[in-house]
Amino acid sequence: MRWLRGVWQSFIRTLFASQPDSIGAHERLTRYIYSSRHFKGSSGTVEPAALMPQPSTGETSVFRIDGLRTAAIWEIGAGIRRDSKRTLHARADLTTRSVVEAELLVEPRRPPERHAVIIGWPDDKDARMSRAQMLAAACRLLVAPSP
């Protein structure tokens, strides 16, 4: 069983490995999706509404996923909402570059480890919708594997 413990410890180390404070220009990010209306699996599209900023903070929560294995990426998404019993339906992968092209910014926001936020959203609702549409167009949808 020693090898199994080794694999597990390696997995945990990877999952919580400290990330640099600055985010790379081509770094991969993901937005976890907990609402079944916020994506369309048949066409592989992410709904812009899924990317709108949180009203209390004005920021969109994302995770930095460079260097993570697929299973670890899904585990973070499921784990962070385990207490609230939200079902993880999908995730929207994007890059820092696509955030900047949508005239927004991304910055690290720990804890938890690997957490970051998309900031710089305009005050006007319609302008925020427009930026969310640009972001969604650049996203790649991945539907969560069956449990």
Which residues bind to another protein, rule: CB under 8 A?
32, 34-35, 37-38, 43, 45-49, 52-56, 61, 81, 84, 86, 124-127, 129-130, 132-134, 136-137, 139
Q: At what angle do helices 70-79 and 2-15 cross, to 10 degrees?
A: 70
Q: How far is the CB of 43 from another protein (least distance, A)?
A: 7
Q: How far is the CB of 66 from another protein (least distance, A)?
A: 22
In the block, residue with structure tokens 């970051």: 116
Long-range contacts of 16-23 (CB under 8 A, 24+ apart): 16/113, 16/114, 17/67, 17/113, 18/113, 19/64, 19/108, 19/113, 19/114, 21/108, 22/108, 23/64, 23/96, 23/106, 23/107, 23/108, 23/116
User: Which is nearer to another protein, 105 or 134 (by Cβ)?
Assistant: 134
User: Which is nearer to another protein, 45 or 105 (by Cβ)?
Assistant: 45
Q: How far is the CB of 38 from another protein (least distance, A)?
A: 7
Q: How far is the CB of 128 from another protein (least distance, A)?
A: 8
User: Which is nearer to another protein, 14 or 101 (by Cβ)?
Assistant: 101
